């Protein structure tokens, strides 16, 4: 999964930083300690994935880091690790700067969120993953490609929003809590889109992608239409994606379709960044029992079988449905544990993109519409 050639992109910047005339012994000590920091997000140590910007030892140790993928919520764990290693309190500040070039106009990575089967919570997951990437310090956008049932306007509480034209050729995205969003649902009534045939659908999607004045984005999350037919295949092939995330429930039916989705992305050489198991279990607040409504660990087993990362197991939770219906992201107020699940999944996606160093989809496949 990891491409060793890409492991050292971060350390070049770290080497540069090392040359700074700073508190050099401590600076070097901390820089080397960063190599020992491990988590599932930083499996080969933090040093390769960050630049040590400054170390200040005037009034307690203060360390400033630039992470090269979205992972700022690791900050408390990094601070705890350095404090333990140095046997004194270390204050760590982190920011994010991806080293990759913009791969598609102002966008560094396009991530497709897909499901083989409808109704498994793909759009809900897309929105919460986008928010979690943003909470981890990245600039993020969401593109609703589910032209047959655009639900991003509802999920972002933007049902009445109408994008403004920037000029004759481009529309401004709608901003929601710092996320830039675009959806066919902003422009058309739902019924207008449902009669579209394949080429119209993918042309409309490419127009939305290319004719939106996206701000500079680290990640654009694309909520794909459910299914694995020609339309989805054409879209996956046309969009210059860095990778795809498959959302599935643990039940056999959904897993069979998730497998088809994985095959589809393999065909068009879009790397699978991971599998998110949604509606994995229900935690009853009254009896404290766990009920595996749709079966147990099906997504986990599929991820293991096909050797893709399991990004997380998201429970069936009132707070997720309620926040979606209220047009809000899942928040700490609703449920800290849920926020942590989405956070970890988002960081794993960002981490896999960084280590894999995947380029845009290089394969040309021509699909006819019959």
Ligand X SMILES: Nc1ncnc2c1ncn2[C@@H]1O[C@H](COP(=O)(O)OP(=O)(O)OP(=O)(O)O)[C@@H](O)[C@H]1O
Q: Which residues are annotated as a binding site for ATP?
A: 116-123
With contacts defined by CB under 6 A, name the span among 29-37, 60-68, 260-268, 317-325 that binds ligand X: 317-325
* Both structure tokens of 261: 């989705």
CB of 144 to ligand X, least distance (A): 10
For residues 303 and 317, which CB has a smaller minimum distance to ligand X in the complex?
317
Is 279 among the residues that bind ligand X (CB under 6 A)? yes
CA nearest neighbour of 123 among 249, 19, 247:
247
Among 10, 45, 116, 121, which residue sits at the site for ligand X (rule: CB under 6 A)? 121
Contact 131, 242 (CB under 8 A): no
271 binding ligand X? (CB under 6 A) = no
- Is residue 114 a contact point for ligand X (CB under 6 A)? no
Q: Does the protein bind ligand X through residue 312 (CB under 6 A)?
A: no
Question: Which one of the spans 69-77, 119-127, 170-178, 283-291 is the region binding ligand X (CB under 6 A)?
Answer: 119-127
Interaction between residue 137 and ligand X (CB under 6 A): no
What is the C-alpha separation between 111 and 263, in angstroms, rounded? 17
Residue indicated by tokens 């400054």: 54
348 counts as binding ligand X under rule CB under 6 A: no
Q: What is the DSSP string of 293-343?
A: TT-SSHHHHHHHHHT--EEEEE---HHHHHHHHTT----TTT-HHHHHHHH
Cβ-contact 247, 114 below 8 angstroms: yes
Q: By CB under 6 A, which span of 114-122, 164-172, 293-301, 351-359 interacts with ligand X?
A: 114-122
Q: How many chain residues touch ligand X (CB under 6 A)?
A: 20
Q: Shortest gap between Cβ of 77 and ligand X (angstroms)?
A: 26
Answer for which of 122, 131, 176, 352 binds ligand X (CB under 6 A) is 122
Q: Which of 119, 178, 229, 289 binds ligand X (CB under 6 A)?
A: 119
Any contact of residue 183 with ligand X (CB under 6 A)?
no
Asked if 324 interacts with ligand X (CB under 6 A), we say yes
Residue 47 near residue 31 (C-beta atoms within 8 A): yes
146 touching ligand X, by CB under 6 A: yes
Q: Residue 97 in 3-state DSSP?
A: coil
Which of 80, 48, 75, 49 lies closest to 64 in space, CA to CA?
A: 75
**Using CA atoms, how far apart are residues 264 and 224, in angstroms rounded to an integer?**
13
- Is there binding between residue 226 and ligand X (CB under 6 A)? yes
124 is an interface residue for ligand X by CB under 6 A: yes
3-state secondary structure of 358: coil
- Which residues define the annotated binding site? 116-123
The interface region with ligand X, picked from 37-45, 69-77, 87-95, 122-130 by CB under 6 A, is 122-130
Q: Decide whether 121 or 163 has the Cβ nearer to ligand X.
A: 121
Indicate if the alpha-carbon torsion angle 335, 336, 337, 340 is positive or negative: positive
- Least Å from the CB of residue 327 to ligand X: 11
Q: Which of 66, 123, 242, 248 touches ligand X by CB under 6 A?
A: 123
3-state secondary structure 122-174: HHHHHHHHHHHHHHCCCCEEEEECCCCCCCHHHHCCCCCCCCCECCCCCECCE
The residues binding ligand X (CB under 6 A) are 115, 118-124, 146, 149, 151, 226, 278-279, 314, 316-317, 320-321, 324
């Amino acid at each position: 999964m990891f491409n060793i050639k890409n492991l050292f992109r971060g350390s070049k910047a770290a080497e540069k930083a090392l040359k700074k005339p700073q508190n050099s012994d401590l600076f070097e000590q901390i820089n080397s300690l960063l190599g020992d920091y491990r988590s599932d997000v930083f499996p080969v140590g933090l040093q390769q994935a960050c630049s040590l910007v400054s170390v200040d030892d005037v009034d307690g140790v203060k360390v400033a880091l630039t992470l090269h993928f979205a992972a700022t919520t690791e900050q408390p764990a990094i601070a705890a690790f350095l404090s333990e290693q140095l046997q004194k309190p270390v204050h760590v500040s982190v920011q994010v700067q991806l080293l990759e070039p913009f791969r598609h106009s102002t966008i560094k990575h396009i991530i497709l969120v897909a499901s083989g089967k409808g109704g498994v919570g793909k759009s809900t997951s897309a929105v919460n993953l986008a928010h979690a990437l943003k909470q981890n310090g990245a600039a993020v956008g969401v593109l609703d490609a589910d032209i047959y049932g655009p639900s991003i306007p509802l999920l972002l509480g933007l049902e009445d929003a109408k994008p403004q034209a920037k000029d004759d050729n481009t529309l401004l995205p709608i901003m929601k809590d710092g996320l830039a969003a675009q959806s066919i649902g902003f422009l058309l009534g739902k019924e207008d889109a449902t009669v579209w045939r394949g080429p119209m659908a993918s042309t409309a999607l490419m127009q939305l992608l290319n004719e939106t004045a996206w701000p500079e984005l680290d990640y654009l999350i694309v909520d794909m239409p459910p299914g694995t037919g020609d339309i989805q295949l054409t879209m996956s092939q046309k969009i210059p994606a860095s990778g795809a995330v498959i959302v599935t429930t643990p039940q056999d039916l959904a897993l069979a379709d998730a497998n088809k989705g994985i095959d589809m992305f393999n065909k068009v050489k879009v790397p699978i960044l991971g599998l998110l198991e949604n509606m994995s279990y229900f935690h009853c607040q009254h009896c404290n029992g766990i009920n595996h409504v749709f079966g147990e660990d099906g997504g986990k087993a599929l991820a293991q079988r096909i050797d893709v990362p399991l990004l997380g197991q998201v429970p069936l939770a009132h707070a997720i449905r309620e926040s979606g219906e209220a047009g809000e992201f899942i928040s700490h107020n609703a449920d800290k544990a849920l926020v942590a699940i989405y956070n970890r999944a988002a960081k794993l996606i960002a981490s896999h993109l960084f280590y894999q160093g995947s380029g845009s989809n290089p394969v040309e496949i021509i699909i006819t519409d019959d």
